[in-house]
Protein backbone atom coordinates (compact mmCIF):
# COMPACT_ATOMS: atom_id res chain seq x y z
CA UNK A 1 0.00 0.00 0.00
CA UNK A 2 2.86 2.32 -0.82
CA UNK A 3 1.86 3.10 -4.40
CA UNK A 4 2.90 6.75 -4.15
CA UNK A 5 6.51 5.56 -3.99
CA UNK A 6 6.25 3.31 -7.00
CA UNK A 7 3.90 0.82 -8.65
CA UNK A 8 4.22 -2.68 -10.08
CA UNK A 9 4.63 -2.74 -13.84
CA UNK A 10 1.31 -3.88 -15.32
CA UNK A 11 1.71 -7.28 -17.09
CA UNK A 12 0.24 -5.72 -20.25
CA UNK A 13 3.03 -3.13 -20.12
CA UNK A 14 5.69 -5.81 -19.73
CA UNK A 15 4.34 -7.62 -22.82
CA UNK A 16 4.43 -4.43 -24.86
CA UNK A 17 8.05 -3.77 -23.84
CA UNK A 18 9.56 -7.21 -24.41
CA UNK A 19 10.10 -7.13 -28.21
CA UNK A 20 12.07 -3.89 -27.86
CA UNK A 21 14.90 -5.48 -25.91
CA UNK A 22 16.16 -7.89 -28.57
CA UNK A 23 13.87 -8.35 -31.58
CA UNK A 24 13.43 -4.65 -32.29
CA UNK A 25 16.49 -3.29 -30.56
CA UNK A 26 17.24 -0.39 -32.92
CA UNK A 27 18.33 3.09 -31.95
CA UNK A 28 15.45 5.49 -32.60
CA UNK A 29 17.98 7.97 -33.99
CA UNK A 30 19.29 5.54 -36.67
CA UNK A 31 17.85 6.86 -39.91
CA UNK A 32 19.50 4.44 -42.34
CA UNK A 33 17.87 1.07 -41.68
CA UNK A 34 14.69 -0.65 -40.62
CA UNK A 35 15.90 -1.35 -37.05
CA UNK A 36 16.05 2.37 -36.46
CA UNK A 37 12.75 3.05 -38.20
CA UNK A 38 10.93 0.43 -36.11
CA UNK A 39 12.30 1.94 -32.90
CA UNK A 40 11.41 5.45 -34.01
CA UNK A 41 7.88 4.40 -34.90
CA UNK A 42 7.43 2.82 -31.47
CA UNK A 43 8.74 5.96 -29.74
CA UNK A 44 6.40 8.20 -31.74
CA UNK A 45 3.46 5.99 -30.95
CA UNK A 46 4.27 6.22 -27.22
CA UNK A 47 4.64 9.99 -27.52
CA UNK A 48 1.08 10.08 -28.84
CA UNK A 49 -0.24 7.88 -26.03
CA UNK A 50 1.36 10.09 -23.37
CA UNK A 51 0.24 13.31 -25.07
CA UNK A 52 -3.37 12.11 -25.17
CA UNK A 53 -3.37 11.42 -21.43
CA UNK A 54 -2.82 15.14 -20.71
CA UNK A 55 -4.49 16.64 -23.82
CA UNK A 56 -1.19 17.76 -25.38
CA UNK A 57 0.20 17.38 -28.91
CA UNK A 58 2.78 14.59 -29.41
CA UNK A 59 5.49 17.11 -30.36
CA UNK A 60 5.11 18.73 -26.94
CA UNK A 61 6.36 15.61 -25.12
CA UNK A 62 10.11 15.41 -24.30
CA UNK A 63 11.36 12.08 -22.96
CA UNK A 64 13.61 12.11 -19.87
CA UNK A 65 14.93 9.66 -17.29
CA UNK A 66 12.07 10.39 -14.89
CA UNK A 67 10.22 13.19 -13.17
CA UNK A 68 13.24 14.29 -11.17
CA UNK A 69 14.97 15.15 -14.42
CA UNK A 70 11.77 16.61 -15.90
CA UNK A 71 11.41 19.00 -12.95
CA UNK A 72 15.09 19.96 -13.19
CA UNK A 73 14.79 20.57 -16.93
CA UNK A 74 11.62 22.64 -16.60
CA UNK A 75 12.86 24.90 -13.82
CA UNK A 76 16.54 25.25 -14.74
CA UNK A 77 15.66 25.35 -18.44
CA UNK A 78 13.21 28.24 -18.01
CA UNK A 79 15.40 30.07 -15.48
CA UNK A 80 18.35 30.15 -17.85
CA UNK A 81 16.38 30.79 -21.06
CA UNK A 82 14.42 33.72 -19.61
CA UNK A 83 17.25 35.17 -17.47
CA UNK A 84 17.09 38.52 -19.31
CA UNK A 85 13.41 38.87 -18.53
CA UNK A 86 13.74 38.16 -14.79
CA UNK A 87 15.21 36.03 -12.05
CA UNK A 88 12.23 35.34 -9.80
CA UNK A 89 10.52 31.95 -9.34
CA UNK A 90 7.48 31.13 -7.22
CA UNK A 91 6.94 27.69 -5.74
CA UNK A 92 5.46 26.34 -2.49
CA UNK A 93 6.69 24.56 0.63
CA UNK A 94 5.22 21.07 0.13
CA UNK A 95 6.73 20.45 -3.31
CA UNK A 96 8.71 17.28 -3.98
CA UNK A 97 12.46 17.59 -3.32
CA UNK A 98 13.07 17.44 -7.08
CA UNK A 99 11.50 20.91 -7.24
CA UNK A 100 12.65 22.33 -3.88
CA UNK A 101 16.30 21.33 -4.29
CA UNK A 102 16.34 22.59 -7.87
CA UNK A 103 15.08 25.96 -6.63
CA UNK A 104 17.68 25.99 -3.85
CA UNK A 105 20.39 25.38 -6.43
CA UNK A 106 19.15 28.32 -8.49
CA UNK A 107 19.20 30.56 -5.39
CA UNK A 108 22.94 29.87 -5.18
CA UNK A 109 23.26 31.22 -8.72
CA UNK A 110 21.49 34.47 -7.89
CA UNK A 111 17.86 33.61 -8.59
CA UNK A 112 15.16 34.65 -6.15
CA UNK A 113 12.64 32.08 -5.03
CA UNK A 114 9.40 32.63 -3.12
CA UNK A 115 8.16 29.58 -1.22
CA UNK A 116 4.44 30.05 -0.65
CA UNK A 117 3.02 28.57 2.57
CA UNK A 118 0.05 26.19 2.61
CA UNK A 119 -2.99 26.15 4.86
CA UNK A 120 -4.01 23.37 7.22
CA UNK A 121 -5.73 21.74 4.25
CA UNK A 122 -2.42 21.62 2.32
CA UNK A 123 -3.42 24.09 -0.40
CA UNK A 124 -1.86 27.42 -1.33
CA UNK A 125 -3.80 30.67 -1.04
CA UNK A 126 -4.40 32.22 -4.46
CA UNK A 127 -4.17 35.76 -3.05
CA UNK A 128 -0.70 34.94 -1.71
CA UNK A 129 0.21 33.78 -5.18
CA UNK A 130 -1.12 36.92 -6.86
CA UNK A 131 0.74 39.14 -4.40
CA UNK A 132 4.00 37.23 -4.85
CA UNK A 133 4.18 37.89 -8.60
CA UNK A 134 6.53 40.73 -9.56
CA UNK A 135 7.81 42.18 -12.83
CA UNK A 136 10.80 39.83 -12.44
CA UNK A 137 8.76 36.62 -12.09
CA UNK A 138 9.43 34.14 -14.91
CA UNK A 139 8.00 30.91 -13.52
CA UNK A 140 5.38 29.53 -11.14
CA UNK A 141 6.10 25.90 -10.14
CA UNK A 142 3.24 24.38 -8.15
CA UNK A 143 2.60 20.63 -8.01
CA UNK A 144 -0.69 19.14 -9.16
CA UNK A 145 -1.10 16.67 -6.27
CA UNK A 146 1.11 16.04 -3.28
CA UNK A 147 2.89 12.71 -2.91
CA UNK A 148 2.47 12.48 0.89
CA UNK A 149 -1.01 13.82 1.58
CA UNK A 150 -2.56 13.52 -1.89
CA UNK A 151 -3.86 17.10 -1.73
CA UNK A 152 -4.72 18.62 -5.10
CA UNK A 153 -3.80 22.26 -5.69
CA UNK A 154 -6.14 24.71 -7.48
CA UNK A 155 -4.41 24.12 -10.82
CA UNK A 156 -6.96 25.74 -13.12
CA UNK A 157 -6.99 28.95 -11.03
CA UNK A 158 -3.17 29.04 -10.89
CA UNK A 159 -3.03 28.59 -14.66
CA UNK A 160 -5.44 31.48 -15.12
CA UNK A 161 -3.41 33.79 -12.89
CA UNK A 162 -0.15 32.81 -14.62
CA UNK A 163 -1.65 33.48 -18.04
CA UNK A 164 -3.07 36.86 -16.98
CA UNK A 165 0.32 37.94 -15.67
CA UNK A 166 2.34 36.49 -18.56
CA UNK A 167 4.28 34.13 -16.29
CA UNK A 168 5.05 30.52 -17.27
CA UNK A 169 3.39 27.79 -15.20
CA UNK A 170 5.07 24.45 -14.48
CA UNK A 171 3.35 21.65 -12.57
CA UNK A 172 4.74 18.38 -11.20
CA UNK A 173 1.80 16.12 -12.05
CA UNK A 174 3.45 12.80 -11.24
CA UNK A 175 0.83 11.76 -8.69
CA UNK A 176 -2.16 13.20 -10.52
CA UNK A 177 -1.89 11.73 -14.01
CA UNK A 178 -3.90 8.58 -14.34
CA UNK A 179 -5.81 9.39 -11.13
CA UNK A 180 -7.65 12.56 -12.09
CA UNK A 181 -8.24 14.05 -15.56
CA UNK A 182 -5.29 16.30 -16.42
CA UNK A 183 -5.75 18.81 -19.24
CA UNK A 184 -2.92 21.19 -20.12
CA UNK A 185 -5.15 23.28 -22.39
CA UNK A 186 -8.07 23.77 -20.02
CA UNK A 187 -5.69 24.54 -17.14
CA UNK A 188 -3.25 26.79 -19.06
CA UNK A 189 -0.29 24.64 -18.05
CA UNK A 190 2.97 25.48 -19.88
CA UNK A 191 5.21 22.71 -18.53
CA UNK A 192 4.26 19.45 -16.81
CA UNK A 193 6.35 16.62 -15.34
CA UNK A 194 5.26 12.98 -15.30
CA UNK A 195 6.90 9.58 -14.89
CA UNK A 196 6.28 5.98 -15.92
CA UNK A 197 6.81 4.14 -12.67
CA UNK A 198 3.98 5.84 -10.77
CA UNK A 199 1.42 4.74 -13.38
CA UNK A 200 2.29 1.02 -13.65
CA UNK A 201 5.06 1.62 -16.18
CA UNK A 202 8.82 1.05 -15.85
CA UNK A 203 11.24 3.02 -13.66
CA UNK A 204 13.79 5.38 -15.19
CA UNK A 205 11.51 6.76 -17.88
CA UNK A 206 9.68 10.07 -17.64
CA UNK A 207 8.56 13.00 -19.72
CA UNK A 208 8.23 16.76 -19.71
CA UNK A 209 5.38 18.45 -21.52
CA UNK A 210 6.59 21.70 -23.10
CA UNK A 211 3.90 23.93 -24.63
CA UNK A 212 4.54 24.78 -28.30
CA UNK A 213 1.99 27.45 -28.98
CA UNK A 214 0.24 30.23 -27.15
CA UNK A 215 2.89 30.71 -25.81
CA UNK A 216 5.76 28.73 -27.35
CA UNK A 217 7.91 27.79 -24.36
CA UNK A 218 11.65 27.69 -24.88
CA UNK A 219 14.11 25.86 -22.68
CA UNK A 220 17.86 25.76 -22.26
CA UNK A 221 18.89 22.10 -22.15
CA UNK A 222 20.66 20.74 -19.10
CA UNK A 223 22.05 17.66 -20.88
CA UNK A 224 23.93 18.37 -24.08
CA UNK A 225 24.96 15.96 -26.79
CA UNK A 226 23.42 14.62 -29.97
CA UNK A 227 20.50 17.04 -30.03
CA UNK A 228 17.77 14.46 -29.44
CA UNK A 229 14.29 15.53 -28.37
CA UNK A 230 14.37 18.79 -30.33
CA UNK A 231 17.66 19.72 -28.71
CA UNK A 232 16.09 19.88 -25.24
CA UNK A 233 17.37 16.52 -23.98
CA UNK A 234 20.23 14.71 -25.67
CA UNK A 235 20.88 11.02 -25.19
CA UNK A 236 19.84 7.79 -26.90
CA UNK A 237 16.22 7.13 -26.11
CA UNK A 238 15.28 4.28 -23.76
CA UNK A 239 13.07 2.60 -26.36
CA UNK A 240 11.69 -0.33 -24.30
CA UNK A 241 11.07 2.05 -21.37
CA UNK A 242 9.31 4.57 -23.58
CA UNK A 243 7.15 1.86 -25.16
CA UNK A 244 6.17 0.70 -21.68
CA UNK A 245 5.51 4.24 -20.47
CA UNK A 246 3.29 4.82 -23.52
CA UNK A 247 1.33 1.62 -22.92
CA UNK A 248 0.96 2.51 -19.24
CA UNK A 249 -0.37 5.95 -20.20
CA UNK A 250 -2.89 4.43 -22.61
CA UNK A 251 -4.12 1.97 -19.96
CA UNK A 252 -4.33 4.74 -17.36
CA UNK A 253 -6.47 6.80 -19.66
CA UNK A 254 -8.83 4.05 -20.74
CA UNK A 255 -9.27 2.69 -17.21
CA UNK A 256 -9.14 5.93 -15.20
CA UNK A 257 -12.87 6.33 -14.61
CA UNK A 258 -13.40 2.83 -13.23
CA UNK A 259 -10.09 2.67 -11.42
CA UNK A 260 -10.70 5.97 -9.67
CA UNK A 261 -14.09 4.77 -8.45
CA UNK A 262 -12.66 1.49 -7.22
CA UNK A 263 -9.70 3.10 -5.44
CA UNK A 264 -11.87 5.78 -3.86
CA UNK A 265 -14.13 3.02 -2.52
CA UNK A 266 -11.20 1.11 -1.06
CA UNK A 267 -9.65 4.26 0.39
CA UNK A 268 -12.91 5.37 2.00
CA UNK A 269 -13.41 1.89 3.42
CA UNK A 270 -9.89 1.99 4.85
CA UNK A 271 -10.50 5.39 6.41
CA UNK A 272 -13.86 4.43 7.90
CA UNK A 273 -12.51 1.14 9.22
CA UNK A 274 -9.67 2.85 11.02
CA UNK A 275 -11.85 5.66 12.40
CA UNK A 276 -14.46 3.17 13.59
CA UNK A 277 -11.89 1.04 15.40
CA UNK A 278 -9.86 3.84 17.01
CA UNK A 279 -10.31 7.28 18.56
CA UNK A 280 -7.73 10.10 18.43
CA UNK A 281 -6.95 9.53 14.75
CA UNK A 282 -6.43 12.62 12.58
CA UNK A 283 -6.59 12.83 8.80
CA UNK A 284 -3.90 15.11 7.36
CA UNK A 285 -4.88 17.49 4.56
CA UNK A 286 -8.11 18.22 2.71
CA UNK A 287 -10.45 15.29 2.07
CA UNK A 288 -12.27 17.34 -0.59
CA UNK A 289 -9.31 18.17 -2.81
CA UNK A 290 -7.51 14.86 -2.65
CA UNK A 291 -6.36 11.99 -4.82
CA UNK A 292 -8.80 9.07 -4.67
CA UNK A 293 -6.08 6.60 -3.64
CA UNK A 294 -4.44 8.54 -0.79
CA UNK A 295 -4.96 8.42 2.96
CA UNK A 296 -2.58 10.07 5.43
CA UNK A 297 -3.46 9.75 9.11
CA UNK A 298 -1.83 10.49 12.47
CA UNK A 299 -2.39 8.27 15.49
CA UNK A 300 -2.12 10.20 18.76
CA UNK A 301 -0.43 8.57 21.76
CA UNK A 302 1.62 6.04 19.84
CA UNK A 303 5.28 6.04 19.01
CA UNK A 304 5.78 6.20 15.24
CA UNK A 305 8.59 3.70 15.10
CA UNK A 306 6.78 1.13 17.24
CA UNK A 307 3.73 1.56 15.04
CA UNK A 308 5.67 0.85 11.84
CA UNK A 309 7.44 -2.09 13.47
CA UNK A 310 4.08 -3.44 14.60
CA UNK A 311 2.67 -3.50 11.08
CA UNK A 312 5.87 -4.39 9.29
CA UNK A 313 4.11 -6.94 7.12
CA UNK A 314 2.32 -4.03 5.40
CA UNK A 315 4.23 -1.74 3.03
CA UNK A 316 3.40 1.88 3.93
CA UNK A 317 5.33 5.11 4.44
CA UNK A 318 5.67 7.02 7.67
CA UNK A 319 5.59 10.71 8.47
CA UNK A 320 9.23 10.59 9.45
CA UNK A 321 12.19 11.02 7.17
CA UNK A 322 15.51 9.44 7.99
CA UNK A 323 18.24 12.02 7.79
CA UNK A 324 21.82 11.07 8.53
CA UNK A 325 21.61 11.93 12.21
CA UNK A 326 18.04 11.35 13.38
CA UNK A 327 14.41 10.94 12.45
CA UNK A 328 12.94 14.22 11.22
CA UNK A 329 9.20 14.77 10.98
CA UNK A 330 7.95 15.10 7.40
CA UNK A 331 8.37 18.67 6.11
CA UNK A 332 5.03 18.34 4.37
CA UNK A 333 3.13 17.55 7.58
CA UNK A 334 5.09 20.27 9.39
CA UNK A 335 3.98 22.77 6.73
CA UNK A 336 0.34 21.90 7.50
CA UNK A 337 0.96 22.72 11.15
CA UNK A 338 0.86 19.09 12.34
CA UNK A 339 2.83 18.87 15.58
CA UNK A 340 6.01 16.80 15.72
CA UNK A 341 4.65 13.89 17.74
CA UNK A 342 1.66 13.50 15.47
CA UNK A 343 3.83 13.81 12.37
CA UNK A 344 6.05 11.00 13.63
CA UNK A 345 3.05 8.77 14.31
CA UNK A 346 1.47 9.24 10.91
CA UNK A 347 1.12 6.79 8.06
CA UNK A 348 0.71 7.37 4.34
CA UNK A 349 -1.38 4.80 2.51
CA UNK A 350 -1.26 4.82 -1.28
CA UNK A 351 -3.71 2.39 -2.81
CA UNK A 352 -3.05 0.98 -6.24
CA UNK A 353 -4.39 -1.04 -9.16
CA UNK A 354 -3.44 -4.38 -7.64
CA UNK A 355 -4.76 -3.87 -4.09
CA UNK A 356 -7.82 -5.95 -3.17
CA UNK A 357 -10.71 -5.38 -0.72
CA UNK A 358 -9.39 -8.33 1.33
CA UNK A 359 -6.05 -6.57 1.72
CA UNK A 360 -7.77 -3.42 2.89
CA UNK A 361 -9.72 -5.38 5.51
CA UNK A 362 -6.52 -7.02 6.67
CA UNK A 363 -4.76 -3.66 7.00
CA UNK A 364 -7.65 -2.16 8.98
CA UNK A 365 -7.53 -5.08 11.38
CA UNK A 366 -3.75 -4.90 11.79
CA UNK A 367 -3.66 -1.14 12.32
CA UNK A 368 -6.48 -1.18 14.88
CA UNK A 369 -4.89 -4.08 16.70
CA UNK A 370 -1.38 -2.59 16.84
CA UNK A 371 -2.45 0.95 17.75
CA UNK A 372 -4.75 -0.37 20.51
CA UNK A 373 -1.95 -2.52 21.93
CA UNK A 374 0.55 0.35 21.89
CA UNK A 375 -1.95 2.64 23.59
CA UNK A 376 -2.56 0.12 26.36
CA UNK A 377 1.09 0.62 27.23
CA UNK A 378 0.89 4.40 27.01
CA UNK A 379 0.51 6.35 30.27
CA UNK A 380 -0.30 9.47 28.23
CA UNK A 381 -3.24 7.78 26.56
CA UNK A 382 -4.44 6.57 29.99
CA UNK A 383 -4.32 10.08 31.42
CA UNK A 384 -6.15 11.50 28.40
CA UNK A 385 -8.92 8.89 28.72
CA UNK A 386 -9.19 9.60 32.46
CA UNK A 387 -9.63 13.30 31.75
CA UNK A 388 -12.42 12.66 29.24
CA UNK A 389 -14.11 10.32 31.69
CA UNK A 390 -13.92 12.85 34.55
CA UNK A 391 -15.25 15.72 32.46
CA UNK A 392 -18.19 13.55 31.41
CA UNK A 393 -18.92 12.54 35.03
CA UNK A 394 -18.83 16.16 36.14
How far is 289 from 179, CA to CA, in rounded Å? 13
Nearer to ligand PLP, 198 or 228 (CB): 198
φ, ψ for residue 51, nearest 5 deg: -60, -45
How far is 353 from 187, CA to CA, in rounded Å? 27
Q: Which residue among 135, 322, 325, 390 is the active-site one?
A: 322
How far is 110 from 98, CA to CA, in rounded Å? 19
Stated length of the chain: 394
Is 205 annotated as catalytic?
A: no
202 lies in the binding site for ligand PLP (CB under 6 A): no
338 lies in the binding site for ligand PLP (CB under 6 A): no
Angle made by CA atoms 51, 57, 58, in degrees to the nearest 5: 65
Does the CA dihedral 52-54-60-63 come out positive or negative? negative
Smallest distance from ligand PLP to CB 66, Å = 3
Site string for ligand PLP, 165-184 (x = CB under 6 A): -------x-xx---------
Site string for ligand PLP, 121-160 (x = CB under 6 A): ----------------------x---x-------------
Query: Which one of 7, 68, 72, 238 is in contact with ligand PLP (CB under 6 A)?
Result: 68
φ, ψ for residue 174, nearest 5 deg: -50, -45
242 lies in the binding site for ligand PLP (CB under 6 A): no
Closest to 195 (Cα-Cα) out of 91, 77, 68, 48? 68
How far is 94 from 335, CA to CA, in rounded Å? 7
Smallest distance from ligand PLP to CB 173, Å = 8
Smallest distance from ligand PLP to CB 246, Å = 16
47 lies in the binding site for ligand PLP (CB under 6 A): no
363 lies in the binding site for ligand PLP (CB under 6 A): no
Q: Which residues bind ligand PLP (CB under 6 A)?
A: 66-68, 96, 98, 143, 147, 172, 174-175, 195, 198, 206
Catalytic residues, by residue number, are 322
Amino acid sequence: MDNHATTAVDPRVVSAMLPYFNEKFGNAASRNHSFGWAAEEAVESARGQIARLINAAPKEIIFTSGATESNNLAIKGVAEMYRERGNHIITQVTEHKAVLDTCKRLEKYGYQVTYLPVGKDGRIDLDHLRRAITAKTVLIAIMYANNEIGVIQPIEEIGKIAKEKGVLFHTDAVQAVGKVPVDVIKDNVDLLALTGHKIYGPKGCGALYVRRRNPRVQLTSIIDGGGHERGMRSGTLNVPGIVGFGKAAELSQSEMAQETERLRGLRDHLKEGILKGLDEVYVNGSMTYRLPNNLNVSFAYVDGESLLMGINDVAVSSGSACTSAKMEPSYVLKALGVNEDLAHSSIRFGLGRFNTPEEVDYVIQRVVEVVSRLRELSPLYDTAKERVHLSKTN
